[in-house]
A = this chain, B = another copy of it.
Amino acid sequence: MEQRGNIVSFRPDVRVVDCTIRDGGLVNDFFFTDEFVKKLYAANVAAGVDYMEIGYKASKDLFDESKFGKWKFCDEENIWAIVGDKNNDMKISVMADVGRTDYKRDIVEKSESAIDMIRVATYINTVPAAIEMAEYCKKKGYETSINIMAISNANDNDITDALEIIGHSGVDRVVVVDSYGALVPEQIRKIAARYVEMGDKFHKQIGIHAHNNQQLAFANTIETLRLGVSFLDASVGGLGRGAGNCPSELLLRFLKNPKYHVIHLLDFIENYLEPLKSEGLTWGYGVPYMLTGSLNQHPRDAISFTKAHRKDIKNFYVELLEKE
């Protein structure tokens, strides 16, 4: 596997994608205050972050608006209320789940939208539907990405086939998503190298979205970066479902591009993220998440275990083993 770039230089093709609201919304059902989102937006702009993924574009036919905060749906006017005149270099991204987005109704022309990039989240067996949605968005004028989730559960032939049809599609980017936090560097490097090979052939950028179940989110991010991955997902304080994501502040300290300024994220952590923790929101590495991750299982059982304030970690392990 060929190395691209080295530890003291930077690759100008690298982009940091902040997922704090989008993935963090899975922890609090997207009930962030407007102030929190506005301050995060300002902090990301000042820190030099390239994209801010502000939430999901979920269909209101499927999800009850009263049960979720506004970032589950990302109505245009709500985004505009945050971004103002967008007089800066940071782009706005939203995620759209295959089968959960009424894209023909809810995705407007890019020229009328506050959104720059739409990332279609899919499992490997729904990649054709994801391509259809992404190509629709591309025609509307957006940058597009297909994020193949739970890649640790996909088999090699399916990955080959999926990458081939994505390669021939009009999609701009593909993201390796380790939803379960199951992969160690040795494994995710091999997967990412296949994505990068496809990306080179078809001129598509490759991204990485890692989870921290095994304390490997940052390691997996920078190890795939070395191999040519260029779109790096991160979130402030690692805020995200279960064990959370690659912490933005760790990533920005590592990246050598002088356009990144971590201090603005530290300010946000001190004044907005730590208070969220004090109020009782919980996320980040813990033994229950390590167990589901290392067993290559969905984190839902670890989330339930944590929410129920259970402490019987040994019983929990036995329960997980019985599900294998």
Q: Is the CB of B270 within 8 A of A314?
A: yes
Does the CB pair B317–A184 fall under 8 Å? no
Question: Which of these binds chain B: A58-66, A101-109, A139-147, A245-253?
Answer: A245-253
Q: What does the 1/0 interface line of A292-324 toward B look like (CB < 8 Å)?
A: 001000000000000000011110011000000
Residue from B212, B217, B254, B266 within 8 A of A184 (CB atoms): B254
Interface residues of A in 182-215 (CB under 8 A from B): 184-187, 212, 214-215
What number of copies of this chain does the assembly contain?
2
Asked whether, in the complex, the Cβ of B186 is within 8 Å of the Cβ of A317, the reply is no
Indicate if the CB atoms of B185 and A317 lie closer than 8 Å: no
Q: How far is the CA of A270 from the CA of B294 in the complex (A)?
A: 19
The interface-forming segment of A15-23, A67-75, A283-291 is A283-291
CB pair A215–B214 under 8 Å, yes or no, is: no
CA distance A312 to B271 in the complex (A): 9
Stretch at the interface among A46-54, A91-99, A219-227: A219-227
Chain A, interface SS category: helix
State whether B219 touches A250 (Cβ < 8 A): no
For A, the interface residue count at a CB cutoff of 8 angstroms equals 40
Known: A222-B184, A266-B317, A269-B313. A250 touches B214 (CB 8 A): yes
Q: Give the complex CA separation of A294 and B265 in angstroms.
A: 15
Residues of B within 8 A of A247 (CB): 215, 290
The chain B residue sitting closest to A223, CB to CB, is B185
A154 proximal to B (CB < 8 A): no
Q: Tell me if A180 counts as interface (CB < 8 A to partner B).
A: no
- Which one of B226, B250, B314 contacts A267 once the chains associate, using CB atoms below 8 Å? B314
Q: Which residue of B lies closest to A214 (CB)?
A: B250
CA distance A294 to B263 in the complex (A): 14
> Within the assembled complex, what's the spacing in Å between the Cα atoms of A215 and B251?
11
Nearest CB of B to A244, in Å: 10
Are B270 and A313 in touch, CB under 8 angstroms?
yes
**In the complex, A218 has a CB within 8 A of chain B:** yes
How long is the Cα–Cα vector from A250 to B267 in the complex, in angstroms?
32
The residues of B that contact A267 with a CB separation of less than 8 Å are 314
Contact residue among B212, B291, B294 (Cβ-Cβ distance under 8 Å from A215):
B212
A253 to B294, Cβ gap below 8 A?
yes
The 23 listed contacts between A and B (C-beta, < 8 Å) are A7-B186, A7-B187, A184-B219, A184-B254, A185-B185, A185-B222, A214-B254, A215-B217, A215-B250, A215-B285, A218-B219, A249-B287, A250-B290, A250-B294, A253-B290, A253-B291, A254-B294, A266-B313, A267-B314, A269-B287, A270-B312, A270-B314, A285-B285
